[in-house]
Chain A
Amino acid sequence: MKRATANYFSDRGNMEHFAPREHGSLAAVEEPGDPRVAAARKRLRECRDQKSACEVVREIVSNLLGCEEMALFEVNRRQQKLALIWSFGVEPRKLHLPQRLSDSALSAVLVGEACIAQVCGHVGSAGDKDKASAFVPIHFAGQIAGVLALLRLLPQKTNLDELDRAVLAVISSEAGEPLFSKGDLGKGERKR
């Protein structure tokens, strides 16, 4: 199911609506036959720990999706907020994304729906500095354990299409285990 709603990202940390966004389940858009999808899945399944998973997520988002600015958050339900655990291509201190779980911008993502901007931010375009192009839920142990935010796309990338959504679906379903299976972090071994 897809539905149009509003974009809540601001360049000063205040909530404001400025572009329509699209929410939707990623499960239905997986295309196992596509080489990008197959390669992303294989690489994520090879990950043994959080560090290697972050590197593979970076490679997938950068090389297969055309976005070199990203941030990964852990969902902290006790404190009702998103906690930044890793970022690439952006200064973490300058990130102004919604972080309270009660934030309406996150409501759909926290029930497992991807949130993809219809008008994506681009590197080099004025006024798009902190604009997010997508929020992707990361599933682990039956719940949403994390959120991957994709910020500005590369100039040659105009939007995130159906095939891109299929790649995001793979990240959403496969990245959780190496990223959030706490017992394995830093030990180089991943339980299956």
Chain B
Amino acid sequence: MPQRRWQSDCIICRLSPGFEVKGQPVKKILLVDDSRTTLLMERMMLEKRTSYQCITATNGLEAVEKAQTEGPDLVLMDVVMPQMNGFEACKRLRENEKTREIPVILVTTRGEESYMEAGFQSGCNDYVTKPINGPDLLKLLHSYLSE
């Protein structure tokens, strides 16, 4: 892989997963939400303003599977989802040796204290409420993903 700087408007960069930035592999974020609108917005925001590579899942079960096969550097996950919610998915990620060290940020409309407690009990690293504030979220992601 050539040592080139990642450029968001470069088709070669976009088509090359794991393209290196200054010698470092591109960080991979797993976005998990059952809302296609939220996934699209998060993806647009990250692709426009960062060099992170995005992969997506639409429920907790799919997220657990993709975390094992894709090995993301961070998981940004909704809580209320069909099949498996974010709390349960987070617990499963923590139980698996392959995924237990991956930072998990839960993102949800539910801002009640009981939900936040449940989130941290499930093993998440951070808990963010919707609607997402773009600059704040990017700052948070950078804090986990910067070397």
Q: Please report A residues at the B interface, Cβ cutoff 8 Å.
A: 35-36, 38-40, 42-43, 56, 59-60, 62-66, 68, 154-157
Contact = CB atoms under 8 A, between A and B. Distances in A.
A154 B129 CA distance: 10
Question: Chain B at the A interface: mostly helix, strand, loop or mixed?
Answer: helix
Contact of B109 (A36, A43, A63): A63
B111 interface: yes
28 contacts: A35-B44, A35-B48, A35-B134, A36-B134, A39-B40, A40-B37, A42-B40, A43-B36, A43-B37, A56-B37, A59-B35, A59-B38, A60-B37, A62-B35, A63-B37, A63-B38, A63-B109, A63-B131, A64-B37, A64-B38, A64-B41, A66-B109, A66-B130, A154-B111, A154-B129, A154-B130, A155-B111, A157-B131
A156 B130 CA distance: 8
Contacts of A68: 109
Given A64-B131, A66-B130, A39 B109 contact: no
Contacts of B130: 62-63, 66, 154
Given A35-B41, A155-B111, 19 more contacts: A35-B48, A35-B134, A39-B37, A39-B44, A40-B37, A40-B41, A42-B40, A43-B37, A62-B130, A63-B37, A63-B131, A64-B38, A64-B131, A65-B131, A66-B109, A68-B109, A154-B130, A156-B111, A156-B129
A62 B36 contact: no
Nearest to B42: A35
Nearest to B48: A35
Interface string B33-53: 101111011101100100000
Nearest to A38: B44
Interface residues of B, number: 17
Contacts of B48: 35
Contacts of B129: 154, 156
A59 B37 contact: yes
Which among B35, B40, B41, B109 has the highest number of chain A CB atoms within 10 Å?
B41
A38 B33 CA distance: 18
Contacts of A59: 35-38
Contacts of A56: 37
A59 B36 CA distance: 8
A64 B131 CA distance: 5
A31 to B, nearest CB: 12
A99 B109 CA distance: 30
